[in-house]
Amino acid sequence: MTIESIYITREDGVMSRYGSPNRDLWKYGMPKRVVKIEWAENGNKHEVINSEGLAFFIIDKIDKIAIIKLSEGDKKNELALFNCNGSIDWIANRTIMIDGSSIFCEYLWFDGFCEDNLAILLVVVNKFSYVKFRILIDIRNGEQMKILDFR
């Protein structure tokens, strides 16, 4: 089972195939937020829709897609890892541990992938102090591995 034919749809309705030249999207104006991600696996179609926006990171090595469902106001952003068949592998906890203290955070965007320890690197913000951190999340279970300073 592998992820095939990934398409993204922006809030203005423009759809593009993931990996296609982005210069084609510029003819439609400034980039808009992504509200829908679609993919196929063995001919079966899967999608994630969120009108407030999506951030995503495709992990080719294991055929999974990490998705942050963005939200506005007091709602909470959600980080989940989707299998190629559309099922959710895990949903990450929004509470992180820093120096022995439990801190509630919001996932903001993806900052890379660390193949050495099978982890995704994300930027998070403390919901109360608005301090940003970078965090490594284990893609096998969604658990926090390490906190790094925001650069």
Secondary structure string (H, E, C) spanning 92-105: CCCEEEECCEEEEE
Please list, residue by residue across 35-61, b when 16 or more beta carbons sit within 10 angstroms of its beta carbon and e when fewer do: bbbbbbbeeeebebebeebbbbbbbee
Q: What is the pLDDT of residue 116?
A: 77
Within 13 A of 3's CA, how many CA atoms are on the CB side? 24
**pLDDT beyond 90 at 17:** no
The helix or strand, by DSSP H or E, that contains position 24, with its residue range, turns out to be helix 23-26
User: Bigger pLDDT: 2 or 82?
Assistant: 82
What does the pLDDT look like over 118-138, one tens digit per residue?
888 888 888 778 888 899 999
Residue 125's SS3 state is strand
What does the pLDDT look like over 57-112, one tens digit per residue?
988 778 899 999 988 766 678 899 999 999 999 999 888 888 888 888 889 888 88
**pLDDT beyond 60 at 3:** yes
Are the C-beta atoms of 133 and 105 separated by less than 8 Å? yes
Bridge partners, residue 135, by sequence:
122, 147
* 30 confidence band (pLDDT: 50, 70, 90): low
Q: Which DSSP symbol is given to 61? A: G
